Amino acid sequence: MTDRNSPLTQRVRRLLGTGSLNPDALAPPIASPTAHGQVRPDTGTLFENQIDRLSAALRELYAIDRQREAELCQMREQAHIAEEHARALTETLAQLDTLIAEVNHLLHPAAEPPHATTLFERMRVRATPASEHAYREALIIWAAGLLDLRARLAALVGEDSDG
């Protein structure tokens, strides 16, 4: 094998710690004793072990990342569903507000300017059937129930209830 002195070859030699690129130089060196008599572990083996540990840690991080991504997708779906529910509840609140306004308008009509009443109108007021009064009370109870329902729905949506 010819000895080449290209920059890449020199760099590989430096990394391998060898002066030449022969097959014996590429074989993993055997642990050599140090000056104190202790056996120094092979740096290539240590390096490979470290790479294996880092690779395992990286695989774990990838697995955790995939799990977090799946959780994030699930949370986005839940948020989308919650937004749809909130939108539906808000529309329901708007409909309830309209109904409440209509009932309040029926129960409390705008005051008409006083006009001269005739004898016939006064007699008609006295002859008002009691069922109209009961109907009016039922409407008041119904309106109160709607107001209570609106307040509960507004609390569910998180909107301040203005009544």
CA distance linking residue 61 with residue 53, whole number of Å: 12
pLDDT at 7: 72
**What does the DSSP 8-state code read for residue 25?**
H
- What region does 113 belong to: left with phi over 0, alpha with psi -120 to 50, or beta? beta
pLDDT score for 32: 54
Query: In terms of pTM, does the model score above 0.75?
Result: no
Dihedral (CA of 148, 149, 150, 154) sign? positive
| Max CA distance (Å), the chain | 132
Query: Residues 139-149: what's their mean pLDDT?
Result: 82
What is the pLDDT averaged over residues 51-71?
92
- Distance (Å, whole) CA 18 – CA 35: 21
Candidate from 55-59, 121-125, 142-146, 148-152 with smallest mean pLDDT: 121-125
pLDDT class for 59, splitting at 50, 70, 90? Answer: very high
- Three-state DSSP at 50 gives helix
Q: Where do the DSSP E strands lie in the chain?
A: 32-33, 39-40
